Structure formats: structure tokens, C-alpha cells
Amino acid sequence: MSIKLSNGHNMPLVGLGCSVFPEPPSVVEKAVETALDIGYKHFDTATLYNTELHLGNALRKAFDAGKVKREDLFIVTKLPQNAMAPERVSQFMDKALRDLQLQYVDLYLVHWPVGMLYRGNEKEMVPVDGDGNYLYDANTDLEAIWKEMEKLVESGRAKSIGVSNFNEKQLERILKIAKIPPVNNQVELHAYLQQPQLREFCNKHGISLTAYYPLGGLSRKDYPAKLKITVAPKLLEDPVVLDLAKKYNRSPAQILLRFSTQLDVAVIPKSSNPSRQLENFQIMDFTLKNEDLELLKSLDQGESARSCFSWPGAEKHPEYPFGHARFVPPPAE
Ligand SMILES: NC(=O)c1ccc[n+]([C@@H]2O[C@H](COP(=O)([O-])OP(=O)(O)OC[C@H]3O[C@@H](n4cnc5c(N)ncnc54)[C@H](OP(=O)(O)O)[C@@H]3O)[C@@H](O)[C@H]2O)c1
């Protein structure tokens, strides 16, 4: 099952998330091998995750063994925050393609609207000063970056382009200047953070949505405390989800993933465990009834359930996308 993007390409509704932190990036190679055997076609990575090379290795092996053809896959990667300047878009696309060992990606996303400082080192994706402060580039020009993203489609390096973690206002600005409109916005979305307004906006403008943290992002419990990522909501243990799992004779993860896909939102659950990969992939052979969709809709906690905020200090950046609820103003001079 796929979503038809506004440019006519198809994006499979279920993909494999290839951000495996805190596991080492190399686990992705095995994870992709088992996922390909199961039938996954959609793989989501990012330059930030350091897994492009491992995804690329697994794909190359599968192509060489004749297991799968390039044109049957949907590969997504993302422009990192230290590349958020027009003159670096092409450079970082080329770096991603080299690591992925591919001629093109199916979808290239602007990972965050918030740019970070570039100090001449491509690998320094999250620059930090000697005191541990994350270093941002306050001059991020989203419109100018988008013009460079369009050139990637024109040169054939990306079949489609989109964004991630953009709010409605930022999308509106891009739509206003775009010759090639974004086909996708990848955002945190799950039963506790359902984003009805953003979904309505995107639907109206032909922008598909992909949900990250579709299970609530369990792996976050292992993140270092300094990243200010809140404790994972216990979405997989919510009583409503557990009751529905019993009713449909499915796992809680399957209920949650089916819920998002029934909202026409693609899901990219991460798992390096083959049996959970299989479980997450087998969700299209049942349908949640309307009354059960309504039950799940009632779990929405809105913005209070958001748990991914980028790096500390991002809230002071002019393009911070999530409102300024967590913005702490600098002391008056
Ligand atoms: N655009 C962005 O800014 C952004 C931000 C964050 C993430 N992402 C993307 O979204 C993907 C998914 O996010 P995520 O990995 O943080 O969150 P997630 O997919 O919601 O949760 C992953 C966690 O759930 C566990 N899990 C997987 N399947 C399960 C199942 N059937 N039952 C129980 N537990 C299960 C995994 O453990 P096991 O591996 O042990 O199964 C892992 O700990 C990432 O890999 C990345 O590609 C994008």
C-alpha cells in the first residue's frame, strides 16, 4: 500500500526507520537485510544518523544478489542542519549519494528548519563549543535553500523533495516561492500527538505526511539527558491501545501503526529485531472500525505530548518550528 505523492510518485505507507541511536550505526546493515527479506521497500535515513553508508552497503548486497531492484525501492534521506545554506545543498546531496552508493534518492528532505553552524567539516553535523553550547546559524534562509533543493530534482539526484519538522507558516512560505512544491513533511506524529491542524493543512496543499516516533519513540529512554528529550510516553502500554490489541488480536504496535496509516500518514517504525520488523510490516490485512478510530483519536494530548525538540538552544532560533512555549528569553542586556 502506498501514498500517491503530488508529483505522481508512490511512497510505500510502511518504511523502516534507520536511526538506531543508541545502538551503533552498523546494526542498520543487518536490520535492512532482514527488512528486505520481509518485503520492506521504504527506508528512511538521514545524514545526521550516520547510517547512510550501512543502508547503502545492505542495498548494494541485495542488488548484487538480485534480491531487489533499485526502481522498486523508496529511499529517503535528509539534509543535515549544518548544511542549511544554499551553497551546501548540492554538496551534501552528493555526500549522501556517495555513502548510499546510489545515483538518486526517492525523497530528499530538509531535516529541520533550524540551521546550525558549518565550520568546514562535513562530519560535524552537530557543532558544539568548548562550553558544551550547541552552535546555530541564525541566518537560515529557507526560501533560498528550497531553490537549491529544486535543482536536485532537475539534475535527477532526487525524484522528490520535501521537508521535516516544518510548521504551517513555513510550509506556506515555501509553497509561495516553489516551482517544485514539497511533496512530504516528516513530523513527530502518534496517538498522543495527532496534529489535526497540520494534517488538514498538508492535505489541503497536497503535502503527504510521514510519522516519526510512530510508536512513541521507545529508544529515547536511552538518550543522554542533556538532549532534553522527554521520557518516552508509554503509548504502547496505554489501556485503550491494549484493549484494541486484544479486540483485533493484534499487537499494540500494530494498532498504533494501523491507526496512523488509516489517517493517510506513512509510518517509519525503527526496529532491529526481525520479529518486530515483521509485526510492524503486517498491518494492512486488517482495518480499525470507525468507533475504534474515534477511541484512538480521543487519546490526543496535543503539543504537551511532543517529545522531539531538536538540540538544546534550538528554541532561540528564528525558524524554530514549534512555537515558543519552551523558549527561554536571554537575559536583558
Ligand atoms: N525527521 C526527524 O526529525 C526524525 C526524528 C526522529 C526519528 N526519525 C525517523 O523515525 C524513525 C522512527 O523513530 P524512532 O525509532 O525514534 O521511534 P519508534 O519507531 O516510534 O520506536 C522505536 C522503538 O520501538 C521499538 N519497537 C519497534 N517495533 C516495536 C514493536 N513492534 N513492539 C514494541 N517495540 C517496538 C524499537 O526497539 P527494537 O529495535 O528493539 O525493536 C525502538 O526502541 C527513526 O528511525 C528515523 O528514521 C525522524
Q: What are phi and psi of 76, to 5 degrees?
A: -120, 135
pLDDT value of residue 306: 86
| Cα(19) to centroid(ligand 1), Å | 8
Distances (CA, A) of 203 to 163, 183, 199, 206: 15, 11, 6, 5
| Cα(221) to centroid(ligand 1), Å | 12
Which residue's alpha carbon is nearest to atom 45 within ligand 1? Answer: 17
- How remote is the C-alpha of 191 from its chain's centroid? 16
- Options 40, 49, 118, 136, the catalytic residue: 49
Residue 49 designated active-site: yes
Which residue's alpha carbon is nearest to atom 11 within ligand 1? Answer: 17
pLDDT value of residue 159: 98
Question: Taking 70 as the threshold, does the pLDDT of residue 319 lie above it?
Answer: yes
Question: Taking 80 as the threshold, does the pLDDT of residue 74 lie above it?
Answer: yes
DSSP letter assigned to residue 116? B
Q: At what angle do helices 252-262 and 274-281 cross, to 10 degrees?
A: 40
| Cα(139) to centroid(ligand 1), Å | 32
For residues 287 and 310, the answer to whether their CB atoms sit within 8 Å is no
Which residue's alpha carbon is nearest to atom 16 within ligand 1? Answer: 217
CATH annotation of 2-316: 3.20.20.100
Label residue 23 by pLDDT band (50, 70, 90): confident
pLDDT digits (tens, 9 = 90+) for 79-118: 999 999 999 999 999 999 999 999 999 999 999 999 999 9
- Residue carrying the nine cell digits 536571554: 330
Nearest-atom number in ligand 1 for the CA of 280 is 31
Over residues 15-42, mean pLDDT: 94
Distances (CA, A) of 136 to 82, 126, 129, 130, 171: 8, 9, 11, 14, 21
For residues 170 and 146, the answer to whether their CB atoms sit within 8 Å is no
| Cα(194) to centroid(ligand 1), Å | 17
Mutate to test the pocket of ligand 1, among 30, 107, 271, 281 (most ligand atoms within 8 A of CB): 271
pLDDT value of residue 328: 39
Annotate 46-101 with three-state secondary structure: CHHHCCHHHHHHHHHHHHHCCCCCHHHCEEEEEECHHHCCHHHHHHHHHHHHHHHC
Structural domain spans, the chain: 2-316
For ligand 1, say whether the CB of 110 is within 6 Å of any of its atoms: no
Label residue 216 by pLDDT band (50, 70, 90): confident
Burial 175-207 (b: 16+ CB within 10 A, else e): eeebebbbbbbbbbbbbbbbbeebbebbeebeb
Over residues 148-154, mean pLDDT: 98
For ligand 1, say whether the CB of 76 is within 6 Å of any of its atoms: no
pLDDT value of residue 329: 37
For ligand 1, say whether the CB of 268 is within 6 Å of any of its atoms: yes
Nearest-atom number in ligand 1 for the CA of 252 is 32
| Cα(215) to centroid(ligand 1), Å | 7
pLDDT value of residue 70: 98
pLDDT value of residue 221: 52
111 known ligand binder = yes
Distances (CA, A) of 156 to 106, 112, 166, 171, 333: 10, 23, 24, 23, 50
pLDDT value of residue 20: 85
pLDDT digits (tens, 9 = 90+) for 222-280: 555 555 555 455 899 999 999 999 999 999 999 999 999 999 999 999 999 999 999 99
Mean residue pLDDT of the chain comes to 92
- Residue carrying the nine cell digits 552552535: 135
pLDDT value of residue 326: 44
Which of the listed ranges 285-289, 303-307, 326-330 does the model predict with the highest average pLDDT? 285-289
Nearest-atom number in ligand 1 for the CA of 211 is 10
Mutate to test the pocket of ligand 1, among 19, 259, 260 (most ligand atoms within 8 A of CB): 19
Alpha-carbon distance 44 to 16, whole Å? 6
